[in-house]
Amino acid sequence: METHPSVLFLLGASHHTAPLAVREKLALDDARAAALAERLRQTPGVKEFAFVNTCNRMEVYGVAADRSALAALPAALCELTGCSPAELEAAARLRQNHEAIAHLFEVASGLDSQIVGETEILGQVKDAYDAALARKWTGPVLNRVFQKAFQAAKHVRTETAVGAGQISIATVAVDLAGKIFGALDKTRILVVGAGDIGLKTVQAFQSRGAKSITVASRTLARAEAAAAQAGGWPASLAELPELVAAADVIACSTSAPGVVIPAALAAGAMKARSSRPLFLIDLALPRDVDPAAADLPNVYVYDLDDLAEIAEENLAQRKAEVARSRAILAGRTAALWHQVAPQLHGPRDVRAGS
Amino acid sequence: MSSWPTDRLLLWAGALLYLAGFALGCLGVARRHAPGAGQRVLLSALLAVGLGLQTAGLYSRGLVAGGCPLGNKFEIVQFVAWSATVLYFVVGPAFRVSLLGLFAAGYAALLAFVSLLIPQWDAVRGEKLFGQNPWIELHAALAVFSYGVFALLAMTSVMYLVQNWSLKHKRQTNLAWLLPSVVQLEQINYRLLLAGVVILSFSLGVGAVWWSRDTSSVDWAKLIVTLAVWAAYLLVLALRGLGRVYATRLAWTCLILFVAALVSLGPVNSSRHHEVILTPESR
C-alpha cells in the first residue's frame, strides 16, 4: 500500500549544461536505450519512463514511487554510457513534478533548443514518446504529460512568432523566393558554380518542391558531377546568357575573381522574360553578381550579407517571442500539474503491467 | 442629414465593424504571424456583419429613392465601399490572397468614415435619378460596381508595391512577411484589371444605347470624364496584355488611375440631369 506521493521526474543533460564530448557519451543508441529501459524496469518503484534523445539532449522522463527510487538512475546511466559520476553530476539536471512538466513543454515548443523555435524537436519528442508507448514504458501520467506537451507546443506555434522566419542562409533564400514566386514547384533553378553552398541551397529549394534544376560550371565535367549530386541538368558557363534568360532563381557560388553575371547580362535576360521576375542569390566571395543588377525592375539581388542579416533578424524576432511563449506555457503547465498531482498518488507499476 | 437618421445609424455601425475588422487584422500583422483559423473567421464575421448593416442602410435609402441609392456623393462613396467588400467575399476565396481581408476592411472603413464625416456630401440628394428606367439604373450600378473592382485592384496594387519595396530594399517588415508573392499579386492585378474593364465597358455600352436616343441627357463634362477613365483602363489592359506595362509600373498605374477615377466622381455626379425622364416609351 503506497503512503507517499509518487514523483514525476526528469533527469537529463542538454547543450545548455553539457559540452559536446559529454553529450556524445550520454547519447542513447537503440541498444543502450533498451538496456537502460531494462534496468529501470527492474528498479523497484519506477512506474513509467521515456527517453528523449537527440543530438543536443538526452533526457529521461519518468514516474517513481518516491524520491529514493531515483537514486539508482545516475548509477545506471554512468554504467551504461561510460560517463563518470563527476561528469554526469556536472552535466545532468534533475527536475521534479511541476518543473519537469514545464521543461518538457519548453523542449517540445523549441524554446529550449539551440536554434530557438526550431520545429524538428517536436517530431523528435513525438518519436520518443511513440517508442516508449509502443514498448509500454509509459503509463497514465506520462501519457497525459506528453500529449499535453504536444498540444502546448502547437498552441505556442499558433499564437506566437517563435517559429517564424528562417534562420539559415539557404532557407532564408528559399523563403525569399517564395515571397517572389509563391509556389516553387514550377520555379526553374540555375546554380552557377559547383560549390558546396550552392548545392545545399538547391537541396533547400528541392525540399520546397522545386524540380527544374540546372547546374552550370566552368567545365562540363564538374557540372555533370554536381548535377548528378543535385538531381539536375549540367550546363557550361558558355551558355550563361540563355541559361539566365530561362531561369527564375539563380544561385551563384563560383570562385571566380570577378563578376560572373554583369548587370547588362541580367538586363538582356529580362527583355526575353516578359513579366516574370528574376531572383539572383549571390553566395560567392568575391561576389558573382554585379550589384547594379539590383537596380533593374523586377530583378531581386541578395548577397551573403543580406541573407545573413535576415537570418539574424529572424533569430532575434524568435528570441523576442520567448517570453510570451513562456507565459503561455506557464498557464498550461499549472493547469496540467493541477490534473496530474492527484494521479501521482495512484499505484501503477510498469513491471506489473509488463 | 436629419431625414436619414436610421440609414446613417446603420451605415455608421457598418463602418465601425469594418474598422474593428481592420484593427483585428493589424494586431495579427503586428505579432507577425499569419492569422489563425479563429482570427480569419472573426475578421470575416466582422466584415460580413458590417456589410449586412451597410447593405441595410443603403437598401433603406434605396426604398425611399425608389431605386439604387446613388443620389449624391455620400451614397456613391458608400456604394463604392460596399462594392469592394462584396468583391472581397466573391473574389477573395478564388484568389486566396492573404491579408486581402485586412486591406478590404481598412479601405471600406476609410471610405465609409470619410463619407459619414463630411455632412455636405449628404446635404442634398437628386430625385428621380434614373427616370424610372431600369437600364439606366443598371448602367449606373454597374459603373459604380466597376469602381469597386478598381478599388480592389488599387488595394492589391498597394499590396504589390509594399511587397516589392520590401524585397528590393531587403526590409522584412511584418506586413510584407505575411503578404502574398509579387508574382501572385501581379497575376491578380491583371485579372482584376480585366474584370473591371469588362464591367465598366458593359455599363457604358448600356448607357451609350440610351444616350444615343437623347444626347442632351448627359452633358459633355460627364461624357468626357467617363470615357477618359474607361479609355485609360482599357489602354492599361492592352499594354499589360502586350507585356509593355507590368509589375511595379502596372501597380503604380492602377493606383494612380483609381485615385483619378475617384476624383472624377465629382464632375460625373455634379453634371446629372436629375429631373430627366428617359424611357424609350416616352419618345
CA atoms within 13 A on the CB side of B191: 11
Instruction: Give me the residue from B170, B172, B180 closest to A182, CB to CB.
Output: B180
Helices marked H in chain B: 5-30, 37-65, 73-95, 100-117, 134-168, 174-178, 182-211, 220-241, 247-270
Q: Are A255 and A197 spatial neighbours (Cβ–Cβ below 8 Å)?
A: no
Distance from CA of B222 to the nearest CA of A (A): 35
Q: Are B25 and B43 spatial neighbours (Cβ–Cβ below 8 Å)?
A: yes
Indicate yes or no: CB of B167 within 8 angstroms of CB of A179. yes
A276 touches chain B (CB under 8 A): yes
Exposed/middle/buried for A281, CB within 10 Å: 0-12, 13-18, 19+? buried
Other CB atoms within a 10 A radius of the CB of residue A319 amount to 13
What are the residue ranges spanned by the domains of chain B?
1-126, 130-283
Domain A7-164+321-353 has CATH 3.30.460.30: yes
Q: Are A350 and A48 spatial neighbours (Cβ–Cβ below 8 Å)?
A: yes
* Complex confidence, ipTM: 0.76
Q: What is the pLDDT along chain A (354 residues), one digit of tens a residue?
A: 445 689 999 999 999 999 888 888 898 888 899 999 999 999 888 999 999 998 889 999 999 988 888 888 898 899 998 899 999 999 999 999 999 999 999 999 999 988 888 888 999 999 999 999 999 999 999 999 999 999 999 999 888 888 877 788 888 999 999 999 999 999 999 999 887 888 888 888 998 889 899 999 988 888 898 888 888 999 999 899 999 999 999 999 888 888 999 999 999 999 888 789 999 999 988 899 999 999 999 999 999 999 989 988 888 888 888 999 999 999 999 999 999 998 887 554 444 333
Indicate yes or no: CB of B33 within 8 angstroms of CB of A309. no
Q: Give the list of residues 6+ apart from residue B162 with CB closer than 8 angstroms, or none.
A: B173, B175, B176, B179
Q: CATH code for A169-312?
A: 3.40.50.720
In 3D space, the residue among A141, A276, A249 whose CA is nearest the CA of residue A188 turns out to be A249
Query: Can you tell me whether residue B262 is helix, strand or coil?
Result: helix
Task: Quote the cell numbers at residue A321.
Answer: 517571442
Please give the residue of chain B at the shortest CA–CA distance from A182.
Answer: B181
Edge-to-edge strands of the sheet including A299-303? A233-236, A212-217, A188-192, A249-252, A278-282, A299-303
What are the residue ranges spanned by the domains of chain A?
7-164+321-353, 169-312
Query: Can you tell me whether residue B120 is helix, strand or coil?
Result: helix
Distance from CA of A287 to the nearest CA of B (A): 18
A55 is catalytic: yes
